[in-house]
Amino acid sequence: MTYPRIIGHRGAAALAPENTLAGFAKAAALGVKMVELDAKLSADGEVIVHHDDTLGRTANGEGPVAQASFAALRALDAGGWFGPDYAGERIPTLAEALEAIAAAGMGVNVEIKPCAERERETAEAVIAVVQEHWKGNGPFQFSSFRPLCLEVALEQAPDYARGFLTDSFAEGWLERAQALQAVSVNGNYRHYRKDRIAAVHAAGLLALAYTVNDPAIARQLLDDGMDGIITDVPDQMMGL
């Protein structure tokens, strides 16, 4: 299993509204070969692409996503906050995003990002959508900060690669990644020391770092052996 050195975070989050079809198209136009996105459930069980548990930052609504129907979410503007050129951009379904990403020839990292107490429900729904709609030839993985979500992915979709997400590399992080049969450890770059990269490689896994927006830091991480960089600014990273 290999992944591109540069992965677009939520599409190309500094260049177009995150987690939107416009954002994925922007990444593709830059030559990005893989993007990351966030998948969660609406109140009525539709799998959507959206990061936050609450509305307001990247869509012009308010309140918890988990309490909003898909119809209500679909009516929101998910692009105007970024700039007038993106006004009217909608929150996409995961199915729509997967089809667009595949059509653009990119791979995808689907982060399973459940709202509170919806871990298994969200994981099962996300997996079902991926199994039906992901037809791309590019690299793929599920990732999550929630171990239960990756456990469900291992149980129900063992042939799909898994990435173990960690922020602080808490004690036992590598053992947990191995127990989940992850192919990569996707860690916060601020805590991804060179010895940790070496430990990941010694375990036969890949080292991916998020969210790296300084080209000098990215260059150092790659020189230290990092296999891939997840970034909001792929336009600044593509030459590394």
Give tens-digit pLDDT for 101-140: 999 999 999 999 999 999 999 999 999 999 999 999 999 9
pLDDT band at 143 (very low <50, low <70, confident <90, very high): very high
What pLDDT digit, counting tens, does each position of 159-181 carry? 999 999 999 999 999 999 999 99
* pLDDT given at position 237: 98
Residue keyed to tokens 């994981």: 123
Query: Within 13 Å of residue 171, how many CA atoms lie on the same side as its CB?
Result: 0
Second CATH level (architecture) for the domain 6-237: Alpha-Beta Barrel (3.20)
User: What's the rounded Cα separation, in Å, for the pair 162 and 158?
Assistant: 9
User: What's the rounded Cα separation, in Å, for the pair 133 and 173?
Assistant: 32
Write out the H or E segment, with its range, that includes residue 188: strand 184-188
To the question of pTM greater than 0.75 for the whole model, the response is yes
Active-site residue identified among 51, 133, 191, 201: 51
pLDDT band at 12 (very low <50, low <70, confident <90, very high): very high
Average of per-residue pLDDT across 219-226: 98
Q: With H, G, I as helix, E, B as strand and everything else as coil, classify residue 112.
A: strand
* pLDDT given at position 1: 78
Average pLDDT, the chain: 98
Ramachandran category for residue 131: left, alpha or beta (phi over 0 → left; psi -120 to 50 → alpha)? alpha
User: 9 catalytic, yes or no?
Assistant: yes
User: 51 catalytic, yes or no?
Assistant: yes
**Is pLDDT at 17 greater than 90 in this prediction?**
yes
